[in-house]
Amino acid sequence: MTCRFPCWVKALAGAALLGMSLSGALLAEDSTLAATPPMGWNSWNHFGCRVTAADVRAAADAIASNGMKNAGYTYVNIDDCWQGRRDADGNIRPNGKFGDMKALADYVHSKGLKIGIYSSPGPKTCAGYEGSYQHEAQDARQYAAWGIDYLKYDWCSASRVYKPEQMQEVYRKMHDALLATGRPIVYSLCQYGLQAVWRWGPSVGGNLWRTTGDISDHYDRMSVIGFDQNGLEKYAKPGHWNDPDMLEVGNGHMNRDEYLTHMSLWCLLAAPLLAGNDLSKMNRETLEILTNKEVIAVDQDSKGAQGRRVWQEGPYEVWAKPLADGSTAVGLFNRGEDAEKIGVNFSDIGVSGSAIVRDLWAHKDLGSFEGSFSAEVPRHGVVMIKVK
């Protein structure tokens, strides 16, 4: 679930930052999971607690057939509200909307995809369903038995039973439980970026960690979250990623230019790409945004570098991400209220002399340019290029 900000967040955010614990760091490095940022779908942004097994199957069907699988989307992730009660032995059971979780996992796997699930280290999830408190090892074994490939672990009610300074050991406890199952399971820490999680996320086994509060399908919220990631680039690397929350592309409250900004910025940030719309009903425009292979290649680049801001003047920004082939992906962003010409000086991205420029959204080579490149960028829009 997109993490919520109940009243305890302010108190936690004000706590003293914890130093990075080295215990467990070697365990975190043992895994080759998430060598590039995870790609897939998550149920929360569109379905919330209405989600059913049928919705999950429909998402898997769509990914497998509409080109998303070929574009790199792999994970089909169930968020909050799947849990039922525990049985007499304490084993977690799905509720009536999901039934046989092993059968659901097998169905997703039959499509050549992977499946994810959601829990909390507290007694309850954000929506009030059963959490994993005091059942961590048992739940990890159950997930592995079902065939789960990804766990999103949301702090939520953990604040009722743990102190802020226990956060690292609490997240490490579930990592160790997952590791003990012998099944490779991507571990997603969802705790709002509290206590500078980017400094210690890898040491507790995190493959990705939320760096922000919740996203919403509105330009102002999306842009604040995305552009505030500047400075965190030194903490991202293969296997360990900053996570500015899930994609809202296609949910209907932003226009095309704003969704292009959203997708471009997330790819420059080497962020996980987890679509959050109804894949079974999306239009062609949304599908084209989500499956642009040249833009996705920036996100999935093997160098594993996160982009950063290299220039800003008021609402106009230039971001750059170095790529494994020696080229640089660049985003010219207009956060202003009217169209504006925005340029990048090649010297700001480590390029001297002339360079060849390609427009990644238009799939078009623009030619060779000397010293700089500029383009008209629409309100709330982006021009995303590759400079080589």
- The enclosing domain of 187 has a CATH number of 3.20.20.70
Taking the C-alpha atoms of residue 2 and residue 272, their distance in angstroms, rounded to an integer, is 14
Query: For residue 30, is pLDDT > 70?
Result: no
Share of the chain above pLDDT 90, in %: 92
| Same domain assignment for residues 208 and 345 | no
- How far is the C-alpha of 149 from the C-alpha of 187, rounded, in Å? 9
Co-location of 198 and 173 in the same domain: yes
Buried/exposed code over 58-93 (b: 16+ C-beta within 10 A; e: otherwise): bbbbbbbebebbebbbbbbbbbbbbbbeeeeeeebe
- pTM beyond 0.85: the answer is yes
289 and 312 share one domain: no
Say if residue 313's pLDDT is above 70. Answer: yes
pLDDT at residue 173, as a whole number: 98
Shared-domain flag, residues 149 and 245: yes
Judge if 69 and 25 occupy the same domain.
yes
- In sequence order, what E strands does 191-325 have? 208-210, 241-243, 273-275, 308-313, 316-322
> What is residue 32's predicted lDDT score, i.e. its pLDDT?
81
Catalytic residue among 139, 154, 243, 278: 154
For residue 349, give the nearest of 378, 376, 373 by alpha carbon.
373
Model confidence pLDDT, tens digit, residues 160-214: 999 999 999 999 999 999 999 999 999 999 999 999 999 999 999 999 999 999 9
Is 16's pLDDT higher than 90? Answer: no
329 & 290 share domain = no
Domain around 321: 308-387
Q: Could you give the CA distance from residue 94 to residue 107 in angstroms, rounded to a whole number? A: 16
Res. 23: pLDDT tops 90: no
- Token pair, residue 388, equals 């080589």
In a shared domain, residues 232 and 335 = no
Q: Are residues 287 and 154 in the same domain?
A: yes
Quick check: is 214 catalytic? yes
* Residues 153, 126: Cα–Cα separation, whole Å: 11
- The residues near 89 (Cβ < 8 Å, ≥ 6 apart) are none
Same domain flag for 172 and 312: no
In angstroms, what is the C-alpha Rg of the chain? 21
How high is the pLDDT of residue 86?
A: 98
**Which tens digit of pLDDT belongs to each residue from 202-235?**
999 999 999 999 999 999 999 999 999 999 999 9
The CA distance from 295 to 153, in Å, is 29
Q: What is the pLDDT of residue 15?
A: 37
Segment 111-157, tens digit of pLDDT: 999 999 999 999 999 999 999 999 999 999 999 999 999 999 999 99
Domain boundary among 272, 299, 326: 299
Residue where a domain terminates, one of 244, 276, 299 = 299
Number of domains in the chain: 2
- Of the residues 176, 214, 257, 348, only one is catalytic, namely 214
Contact 198, 22 (CB under 8 A): no
Write down the pLDDT at residue 3: 57
Do 365 and 292 have their domain in common? no
Q: What is the CATH number of the domain that holds 369?
A: 2.60.40.1180
pLDDT at 35 over 80: yes
| Cα–chain center distance at 16 | 26
Contact criterion met (CB below 8 Å) for 80 and 125: yes
Tokens 């900053």 sit on residue: 242
Residue 272 pLDDT: 98
Is there a single domain that holds both residue 338 and residue 202? no
pLDDT score recorded for residue 1? 52
Residue 377 lies in a domain: yes
Instruction: For residue 236, give the 3-state DSSP assignment.
Output: coil
Query: Which among 274, 299, 324 is the end of a domain?
Result: 299
Helix (H) or strand (E) holding 144: helix 136-146
Residues 287, 320: one domain?
A: no
pLDDT digits (tens, 9 = 90+) for 315-361: 999 999 999 999 999 999 999 999 999 999 999 999 999 999 999 99
Q: What is the pLDDT of residue 122?
A: 98
Backbone angles phi, psi at 204, to 5 degrees: -105, 15
Domain presence at residue 177: yes
